[in-house]
């Protein structure tokens, strides 16, 4: 890489003076842990996605954990999900003492294949945990049809999907409304908007929202905001096992400013994704991402599947040598050591898995997506020059 050639990262959060001033506001107020800024962020987030309730937590993994607990997942239960996701998805199931039952994905969208869900359901299935992978909405209508026919709750791992939309009863609606039972979001720096780290649960169920608020603060019966504002002495109690899953007011203050930027961020990312579609359309064998007619992605990531002749690692190295960051296709949890020793089941009987460690005959699309796809740089303030560099270097790497 030339010394004058600027490095192009895979992602970069869009933050500035408004976020710095918001953090200062929270710091100078003297209330820096969970407090009024968190409450305001929750209200504004709920209004944005169209949900009755939103509860802020420390990250999306903790959000997923609480969502699973809320719908009644217990030790020994099974939860249907995908292996093709960041490992936090499967981990949250194991936190409940439950077993993830992995279903393969659709190669076009990298999302769970609804046709395969019914065959994975057993008398131990307690919930379905779907993922809107890299911001692309999954086929919620088909998924919910299966779930409702078996009386199963649906949790949406929407970590990457803030700002994404789905055509629902003839209207475009935000992911997170929610269309399932609970949706969970992430504010990690790799996501569309960021609070440094953080998460949010949205639901229309008031009892679940109440439960989230108890669990996130050690099961404390009286919130800090009530206790500190009381005119009489109040002693809290702890009627249940809870967790320290709180978001700070500093994070929430930043999140409120990020939420204001969100429409512009999504619009820009959709433009950049369209530019990639046009600029890469002539690369033989390169498979570009597919956006179904009923979905509008926020394009949290732009993932392409390489031509058969190309080696994934070699292409990524060529790009890196040219000063361009890429990432491999989304990981598969069943290939990780923590899950190779886990007695998760993928066979038809689902009592045992007879596949080789790190490989599964029923998850071939998931494995192919990890092995054959790469994620290209995409961020709000990416310039035309930077995007053209990415395109040209990718074409060279693919020997076009």
Q: What is the pLDDT of residue 231?
A: 74
Tokens of 262: 């969100």
* Secondary structure (3-state) at 396: helix
Res 200: pLDDT: 98
pLDDT of residue 237: 83
Residue 348: the pLDDT is 41
Q: What's the pLDDT at 350?
A: 47
- Looking at residue 234, its pLDDT comes to 79
- d(CA 338, CA 326) in angstroms, rounded, equals 25
Active site residue 191: yes
Q: Are 304 and 286 in contact (CB under 8 A)?
A: yes
Looking at the chain, the whole-number percentage of residues with pLDDT higher than 90 is 86
pLDDT digits (tens, 9 = 90+) for 331-352: 999 999 998 755 455 544 444 5
For the chain, list residues with pLDDT below 70. Answer: 1-4, 227-228, 341-358, 400
Structure confidence at residue 245 (pLDDT): 97
Which one of the listed residues 52, 191, 395, 396 is annotated catalytic? 191
Give the H/E segment covering residue 103. Answer: strand 99-103
**Cα gap 377→397, rounded to integer Å:** 15
CA distance 270 to 284: 24
Residue found by looking up tokens 């607990």 in the block: 69
Burial class (CB in 10 A: 0-12, 13-18, 19+), 75: exposed
Q: Is the pTM of this model over 0.85?
A: yes
Q: Domains for the chain: give ranges and CATH numbers.
A: 17-397 (3.40.640.10)
β pairing state of 78-82 and 154-157:
unpaired
Nearest to 162 by CA among 4, 83, 28, 44: 44
């Amino acid at each position: 890489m030339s010394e004058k050639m600027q490095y192009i990262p895979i992602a970069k959060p869009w933050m500035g003076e408004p976020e710095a001033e918001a953090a200062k506001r929270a710091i100078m107020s003297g209330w820096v842990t969970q407090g009024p800024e968190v409450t305001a962020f929750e209200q504004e987030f709920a209004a944005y996605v169209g949900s009755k309730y939103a509860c802020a937590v420390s990250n999306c993994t903790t959000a997923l954990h609480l969502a699973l607990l809320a719908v009644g997942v217990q030790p020994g239960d099974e939860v249907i999900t995908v292996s093709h996701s960041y490992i936090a998805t499967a981990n949250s199931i194991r936190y409940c003492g439950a077993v993830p039952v992995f279903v393969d994905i659709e190669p076009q969208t990298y999302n769970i294949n609804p046709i395969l869900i019914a065959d994975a359901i057993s008398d131990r299935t307690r919930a379905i945990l779907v993922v809107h992978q890299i911001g692309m909405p999954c086929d919620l209508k088909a998924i919910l049809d299966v779930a409702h026919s078996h009386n199963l709750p649906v949790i949406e791992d929407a970590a990457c999907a803030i700002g994404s939309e789905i055509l629902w009863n003839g209207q475009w609606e935000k992911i997170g409304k929610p269309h399932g039972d609970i949706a969970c979001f992430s504010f990690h720096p790799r996501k569309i908007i960021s609070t440094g780290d953080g998460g949010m649960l949205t639901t229309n169920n008031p009892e679940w929202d109440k439960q989230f608020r108890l669990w996130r603060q050690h099961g404390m019966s009286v919130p800090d905001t009530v206790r500190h504002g009381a005119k009489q002495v109040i002693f809290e109690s702890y009627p249940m096992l809870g967790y320290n899953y709180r978001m700070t007011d500093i994070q929430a203050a930043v999140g409120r400013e990020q939420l204001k930027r969100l429409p512009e961020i999504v619009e820009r990312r959709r433009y950049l994704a369209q530019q990639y579609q046009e600029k890469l359309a002539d690369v033989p064998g390169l498979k570009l991402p597919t956006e179904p007619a009923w979905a509008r992605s926020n394009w949290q990531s732009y993932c392409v599947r390489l031509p058969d002749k190309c080696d994934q690692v070699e292409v990524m190295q060529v790009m890196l040598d040219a000063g361009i960051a890429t990432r491999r296709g989304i990981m598969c949890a069943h290939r990780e050591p923590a899950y190779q020793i886990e007695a998760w089941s993928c066979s038809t009987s689902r009592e045992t898995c007879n596949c080789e460690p790190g490989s599964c005959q029923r998850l071939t699309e998931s494995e192919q997506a990890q092995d054959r796809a790469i994620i290209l740089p995409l961020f709000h303030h990416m310039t035309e020059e930077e995007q053209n560099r990415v395109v040209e270097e990718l074409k060279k790497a693919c020997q076009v």
